[in-house]
């Protein structure tokens, strides 16, 4: 497992838009998490396992808005489901 002292500090806010993991030739830390930001350049942090890199990205990016798996688009509002006769 990677040393937590090597991780960039978390600011308790989600400043990254999204992230990705790339494989590198480094035998000790072969996975690099790359975070993309709105206001600054991309940041990188290397990890020993893919799981650590993915967890780092999950902890530093916002969760996507939950969506219903029933609909292939946003679910309609309850007001729009009422009949036209005012029921």
Q: Is residue 35 part of a domain?
A: yes
Closest CA to 44 of 7, 10, 11: 7
Q: How many domains does the chain have?
A: 1
Q: Which two tokens stand for residue 86?
A: 């005012």
pLDDT at residue 1, as a whole number: 45
> Distance between the two ends of the chain, CA-based, in angstroms?
60
Tell me, yes or no, whether 40 lies in a domain: yes
Which pLDDT score is estimated for 73?
A: 66
Predicted confidence at residue 13, as pLDDT, reads 47
pLDDT per residue rounded down to tens, the chain (87 residues): 445 455 555 544 457 888 999 999 999 999 999 999 888 889 999 999 999 999 999 888 887 777 667 766 666 666 655 555 555
- Does a structural domain hold residue 78? no
Full domain range(s) for residue 24: 1-7+14-63
């Amino acid at each position: 497992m990677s040393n937590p002292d090597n991780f960039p500090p978390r600011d308790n806010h989600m400043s990254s838009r999204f992230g990705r993991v790339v494989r590198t030739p480094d035998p000790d830390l072969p996975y690099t998490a790359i975070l993309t930001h709105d206001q600054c350049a991309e940041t990188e942090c290397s990890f020993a396992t893919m799981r650590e890199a993915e967890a780092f990205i999950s902890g530093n990016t916002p969760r996507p808005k939950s969506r219903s798996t029933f609909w292939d688009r946003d679910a309609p509002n309850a007001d729009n489901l009422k009949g036209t006769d005012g029921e």
